């Protein structure tokens, strides 16, 4: 069964600190992996997209890594800010037999940054 | 430019009623997706449109759910005989095209449906 699992479920850190969120997946076939940020009451916003051949991708203070052999990804947030408080969702795109990339979402990690 | 918009932002209805949820995608986007997000969970795929046609409706949970996109832009998700288990946030997303491995889906803010 295609699954995307994230850890931890929730995380509290102090402003200015770094953190790393984890994602394991069993989706096959694999096309690409995305990290989304979802603020409370809003739709998800794409942070990074990585294909099979990419093992790292940065977007400002966000750096995502991908190990396609072990089917693991991480999202590292540097020098956290209060505005980073949100849910971070790992999304794997695999089956494209329907002519599009079907997305499978993890449950997300809820991050709270405290002053 | 305007992003994906959804109306209403909140909808409260009684069990057994009919509801319609609307999605206005980004202008020019040919691909449109509906997802359902339960509390504390990631979105789950419902249906995908390419233009006017539903290319994949395998995520619709049962025949009470139906979606249309008659002119290839605005889409309406229709739920008949609502049940309390239908309560969730319904998200719509659009993308410029389909098939590209890094095609980004742009999400709307969602409609929070509560069935009493």
Query: A42: helix, coil or strand?
Result: coil
B105/A46 Cβ within 8 A = yes
Instruction: Tokens 């139906």: give the residue.
Output: B66
Predicted confidence (pLDDT) at residue B98 exceeds the cutoff of 80: no
Q: Residue A98 is nearest to which of B56, B108, B109, comparing CB atoms?
A: B56
**Region B7-30 average pLDDT:** 96
Tell me the chain A residues in contact with residue B107 when contact means C-beta distances shorter than 8 Å.
43-45
A107/B41 Cβ within 8 A = yes
Q: Residue B104 is nearest to which of A43, A46, A51, comparing CB atoms?
A: A46
Predicted confidence (pLDDT) at residue B88 exceeds the cutoff of 70: yes
Looking at chain A, which runs of residues are DSSP E strands?
Answer: 4-7, 10-14, 19-25, 32-38, 45-51, 56-59, 62-67, 72-77, 86-93, 103-105, 109-114
Q: Residue B45 is nearest to which of A4, A102, A106, comparing CB atoms?
A: A102
Instruction: Tokens 């025949």: give the residue.
Output: B63
Q: If we measure between CA atoms, which residue out of A54, A55, A13, A38 comes closest to residue A90?
A: A38
Contact criterion met (CB below 8 Å) for A3 and A26? yes
Q: Using 50, 70 and 90 to split pLDDT, how confident is the model at A63? A: very high
Q: Residue A99 is nearest to which of B42, B55, B102, comparing CB atoms?
A: B55
B25-75 pLDDT per residue, tens: 999 899 999 999 998 889 999 999 988 988 889 999 999 999 999 998 999
A105/B42 Cβ within 8 A = yes
Least confident of A49-53, A75-79, B63-67: A49-53
Q: Using 50, 70 and 90 to split pLDDT, how confident is the model at A111? A: very high
A43/B4 Cβ within 8 A = yes
Q: Using 50, 70 and 90 to split pLDDT, how confident is the model at A30? A: confident
Tell me the chain A residues in contact with residue B109 when contact means C-beta distances shorter than 8 Å.
41-43
- At A31 the pLDDT is 84
A4-13 pLDDT per residue, tens: 999 999 999 9
* Chain B residue nearest residue A101, CA to CA: B99
- At B103 the pLDDT is 78
* Chain B residue nearest residue A108, CA to CA: B42
- The Cα A6–Cα A18 span in angstroms is 18
Query: B51: helix, coil or strand?
Result: coil
Predicted confidence (pLDDT) at residue A2 exceeds the cutoff of 90: no
**Region A50-60 average pLDDT:** 92
- At B104 the pLDDT is 85
- At A46 the pLDDT is 92
**Region A83-92 average pLDDT:** 96
């Amino acid at each position: 069964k295609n699954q995307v699992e994230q850890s931890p479920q929730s995380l509290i850190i102090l402003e200015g600190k770094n953190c790393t969120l984890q994602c394991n997946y069993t989706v096959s076939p694999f096309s690409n992996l995305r990290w989304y940020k979802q603020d409370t009451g809003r739709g998800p916003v794409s942070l990074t997209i990585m294909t099979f051949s990419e093992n790292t991708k940065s977007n400002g203070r966000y750096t995502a890594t991908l190990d396609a052999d072990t089917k693991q990804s991480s999202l590292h947030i540097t020098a956290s800010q209060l505005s980073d408080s949100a849910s971070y969702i790992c999304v794997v795109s695999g089956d494209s037999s329907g002519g599009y990339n079907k997305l499978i979402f993890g449950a997300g990690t809820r991050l709270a940054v405290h002053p | 430019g305007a992003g994906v918009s959804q109306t209403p932002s909140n909808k409260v209805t009684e069990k057994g009623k009919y509801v319609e949820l609307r999605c206005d995608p980004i202008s020019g986007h040919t691909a449109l997706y509906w997802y359902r997000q339960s509390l504390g969970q990631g979105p789950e795929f419902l249906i995908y449109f390419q233009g006017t046609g539903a290319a994949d409706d395998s995520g619709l949970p049962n025949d009470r759910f139906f979606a249309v996109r008659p002119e290839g832009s605005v889409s309406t998700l229709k739920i008949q005989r609502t049940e309390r288990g239908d309560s969730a946030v319904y998200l719509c997303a659009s993308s410029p095209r389909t098939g590209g491995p890094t095609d980004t889906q742009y999400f709307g803010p969602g409609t929070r449906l509560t069935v009493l």
